[in-house]
Amino acid sequence: MTTASPFFVSAPGRVCLFGEHSDYLGLQVLPAAIDRTIDILVSPRRGSSIRVLYVNLNETDMFDMDKDVTYRHRREYLRSAFNVLTRQGMKPSGGADLTVSGNIPIAAGLSSSSALTVASVIAFAYLSGTQLNPDRTAQLAFQAEVQEFGESGGMMDHFASAYGGLIHLDCGHENRLTKLPAQLNGLVIGDSQEKKKDTVGDLISIRRTVEEGYRRLADLIPSFDQRVTPLESVEKRIDKLPESCRLMTMSTIRNRDLTIRAMRVLNSATPDPKTVGFMLDEHHSILRDGLHRSTPKIEAMILAAKSAGALGCKINGSGGGGTMLAYAPGREKEVVDAISQAGGIPYPVKIGRGAFGAAIKK
């Protein structure tokens, strides 16, 4: 593919099946890409400017490549992707028109912002004559979305979007990634249409609270390590922690152990659906009761989905609104109808492919 020709870039959103709120705490996660995407049509042209049309938002943008690109407001992820790649020596050789569209609900816990950032990284890399592997794509997207704005997220979303499929990601020092073989059918997203007030602030608050709990436990347990110290050891001393961090810290350790168990289950191509559903319910209870991430409307949608035959349900993303996930193999239609009757917007989804760029055939 030559950068003189128009090309198309697509990056998927994701659901986190297990390990929600664990990536930015250095633990393990089990996300899966979904077949809802952010897409960018790129038309290279002469000149030194980038022109952008955001179709779904009915907004436009334009910036000059010959000078530093400033941010008009925080979280301008397409601009930040350009800046991050330019600093790495990947500057487009000419101007371009970018048309951005997609079908991922925005600010709903499905990583629309990460998908946009991943797609933008691929687009600007191609414009500079560079093709990135998924690992490098994810790392640069993380820099552009999180580090560039000094925020508190993890790398799960970027790896899930870049690689696609169902993955296990150990968010320790090396971000070890393994693709998992489990075939999971019957996934239905339910959008509550409740807009989350402060996703970034929620992540910062949870992270600070849990890390304070870790520090307190380190004073009580010799060689405490949040990655490996047994739950039983934490349970014996959790009452000695301040009430302000006790529940979230304990919930994070329970979440850690559940994710490890789920990884073993999903390492089979045909996991037992009832076991997966039961574990999803357990995960949701941790998020709801331990991290306070659910809402009454999400709970009503989950109850409706379960009554219609879903084997398990959980809230997605940072919580406090947004979407829920129902796992309902063989009962998708009934769950779609139930979510709709509960006031949500249902989206049946499948596990999707990773981000890619492709030339447009003439």
SS (H, E, C) 29-71: EEEEEEEEEEEEEEEEECCCEEEEEECCCCEEEEEECCCCCCC
Model pLDDT, residue 66: 80
How far is Cα 246 from Cα 209, in angstroms, rounded to an integer? 9
Write the pLDDT tens digit of every residue in 120-133: 999 999 999 999 99
The predicted model scores a pTM of 0.93
Token code pair at residue 117:
């950032």
Write the pLDDT tens digit of every residue in 298-322: 999 999 999 999 999 999 988 888 9
- Percent of the chain residues topping a pLDDT of 70: 97
Write the pLDDT tens digit of every residue in 164-205: 999 999 988 677 999 999 999 999 999 999 987 666 677 888
Query: Which residue type sits at 126?
Result: Y
Place of tokens 């990947």: 90
Looking at the DSSP bridge assignments, the partners of residue 324 are 190, 315
How far is Cα 279 from Cα 273, in angstroms, rounded to an integer? 10
Q: What share of the chain is helix, strand, coil (3-state, %, to 5)?
A: 40, 25, 35
How far is Cα 67 from Cα 332, in angstroms, rounded to an integer? 51
CA geometry: angle 334, 304, 31, nearest 5 deg: 85
Contacts of 89 (CB under 8 A, 6+ apart): none
Token code pair at residue 238:
């959790």
Domains and CATH numbers, the chain: 7-182 (3.30.230.10)
pLDDT higher than threshold 50 for residue 250 = yes
Model pLDDT, residue 362: 66
Place of tokens 């150990």: 170
Q: What H or E segment, with its residue span, contains residue 170?
A: strand 167-170
Write the pLDDT tens digit of every residue in 339-353: 999 999 999 999 999
Q: Is 72 in a helix, a strand, or coil?
A: coil
Q: Please give the radius of gyration of the chain, using alpha carbons only, rounded to the nearest integer.
A: 21
Confidence of residue 107 (pLDDT cuts 50, 70, 90): confident
Q: Please state the φ and ψ torsions of residue 243, each to the nearest 5 degrees.
A: -60, -30
Closest C-alpha among 314, 299, 311 to residue 335:
311
CA geometry: angle 61, 64, 69, nearest 5 deg: 80
- Angle between helix axes 332-341 and 296-307 (nearest 10 degrees) is 140
Write the pLDDT tens digit of every residue in 193-244: 998 766 667 788 899 999 999 999 999 999 999 999 999 999 999 999 999 9
Closest C-alpha among 277, 271, 205, 216 to residue 241:
216
How far is Cα 164 from Cα 148, in angstroms, rounded to an integer? 24
CB count in 10 Å sphere of residue 222: 8
Per the CB < 8 A criterion, the answer to whether 286 and 255 are in contact is: yes
Token code pair at residue 233:
């050891």
pLDDT higher than threshold 70 for residue 1 = no
- DSSP string computed for 238-284: GGGS-HHHHHHHHHHHHHHHHHHHHHHHHTSSS--HHHHHHHHHHHH
* DSSP 8-state class, residue 191: E
Model pLDDT, residue 2: 45
Query: Which residue type sits at 343?
Result: G
